[in-house]
Amino acid sequence: MGSLSRLRFVLRDERGMVAVTFALSSLVLFLIMGAALDYTRMSQSYTQLQNAADSALLAVAHTAQDNSNVDTLKQLASDYMETMLPSNYEFEITSFAKSGSTLSMTAAGVVPASLTQVVGYQQFEPKVSSEVYWGTGKIEVLLVLDNTGSMASFGRMTELKKAAKALLDELSGSEEGLVKVGIVPFDVNVRIPTSYKSASWFTVNWLVSLFWQGCVTDRDQPYDISDAPVTSSNSTKYPGALCKSNSLVTIQPLTDDLLSLYPKIDQMTPAGNTNITIGLSWGLARFCRSSCRSRRGNPGAPRT
């Protein structure tokens, strides 16, 4: 067989093509899997760095109120971040600044690539920024607490009460008059003092009025999901309703007497179905005090 004939034979021979195709495909799949793996690692490294930066800045903010040395604050932030990041995570705080009551910083990390190094990507360099502001103004906190029947399972109501009291314990250490806290227990309804029956923002039909015990239901749409102000139209007013659960605790307006809130929390009992919207809308209405007035020129919902 001549040279030309042997060449033709080789070119026409299809044996082993599957192996060649598989080898080439495997290389492509290997690169795709490597890229997917490194993309996941890159996203994770960015999230880790951002979380560490945010946490560090919040921690340092407590010290920054009494310490104006930027280099010291920067080192404290770096030390804190080091405790939060994996031991092999290289990072650097590239900028750190304090201006008045504001702390800001940027940080950059270095994370080695793995499989994508074969195509030239040697490392990832995530960069994040964070900023925190502190103030000494008054604080108003409104606790919207689920009192529905599902809270009776798995000790949920017990844990809710513990968490609410723990928050009160923390806030009770604040300067007198600095913090106000209110409570909005809810199930399908919320419950207000019956003295509000004649309020201009309230409406109730004659039948419900005969048996009314303080429960309120959703406003007409679209006002049921907003803190839009009350007008002369009944559709914007807060309608009275028959209580679905007689055990529902009455709303506690914002108060600086935090000790008075502990018994209110103890009285909460899980019962009835769930209507998250009414809890949130009343929480917003009773929390949004001066800001609502300045924004709309109308107090809208009851604020006592």
What is the reported pLDDT for 178?
81
Q: Which of 40-49, 111-120, 190-199 has the highest mean pLDDT?
A: 190-199
Q: State the DSSP code for 87.
A: T
Tens-digit pLDDT profile for residues 272-281:
898 888 998 8
Q: Do residues 116 and 212 share a domain?
A: no
Q: State the DSSP code for 44.
A: H
Of the candidates 156, 302, 283, which has an alpha carbon nearest to the alpha carbon of residue 238?
302
Q: Do the domain assignments include residue 303? A: no
Q: Which residues contact 178 (CB under 8 A, 6 or more apart)?
A: 138, 139
Q: Do the domain assignments include residue 304? A: no
- Domain-terminating residue out of 92, 108, 133: 133
pTM given for the model: 0.54
Q: State the DSSP code for 277.
A: H
C-alpha Rg value of the chain to the nearest Å: 31
Of the candidates 250, 235, 126, 238, which has an alpha carbon nearest to the alpha carbon of residue 192?
250
Q: Do the domain assignments include residue 301? A: no
Q: Do residues 251 and 201 share a domain?
A: yes
For 260, the domain range is 139-296
Q: How far apart are CA 48 and CA 50, in angstroms?
A: 6
Q: How far apart are CA 106 and CA 93, in angstroms?
A: 6
What is the reported pLDDT for 288?
43
Q: Do residues 29 and 114 share a domain?
A: yes
- Phi first, then psi: what are they for 53, rounded to 5°? -65, -45
What is the reported pLDDT for 87?
81
Q: Which of 88-97, 221-230, 257-266 has the highest mean pLDDT?
A: 257-266
What is the reported pLDDT for 1?
53
Q: Supply the DSSP string of 62-111, one letter for each residue.
A: HHHTT---HHHHHHHHHHHHHHHS-TT-EEEEEEEEEETTEEEEEEEEEE
Q: Is 141 helix (H, G, I), strand (E, B) or coil?
A: strand
Q: Do the domain assignments include residue 126? A: yes
Q: Is 162 helix (H, G, I), strand (E, B) or coil?
A: helix
- Domain-terminating residue out of 133, 166, 197: 133
Q: State the DSSP code for 203.
A: E
Taken as a whole, the chain contains a residue count of 304
Q: Which of 16 and 168 is assigned the larger pLDDT?
A: 168
What is the reported pLDDT for 258?
92
What is the reported pLDDT for 292?
36
| Cβ-based neighbour number of residue 49 at 10 Å | 23
Judge whether 251 and 190 are in contact, CB under 8 Å: yes
Q: What is the mean pLDDT of residues 34-58?
A: 78
Residue 150 has pLDDT above 70, yes or no: yes
Q: How far apart are CA 68 and CA 71, in angstroms?
A: 9
What is the reported pLDDT for 240?
92
Tokens 């994770």 correspond to what residue? 44
Q: Do residues 10 and 77 share a domain?
A: yes
Q: Which of 28-42, 97-111, 124-138, 245-259 has the highest mean pLDDT?
A: 245-259
What is the reported pLDDT for 261?
95
| Cβ-based neighbour number of residue 139 at 10 Å | 12
Lowest mean pLDDT across 6-15, 105-114, 195-204, 272-281: 6-15
Q: What is the mean pLDDT of residues 153-176?
A: 88
Question: Number of structural domains, the chain?
Answer: 2
Q: Do residues 118 and 90 share a domain?
A: yes
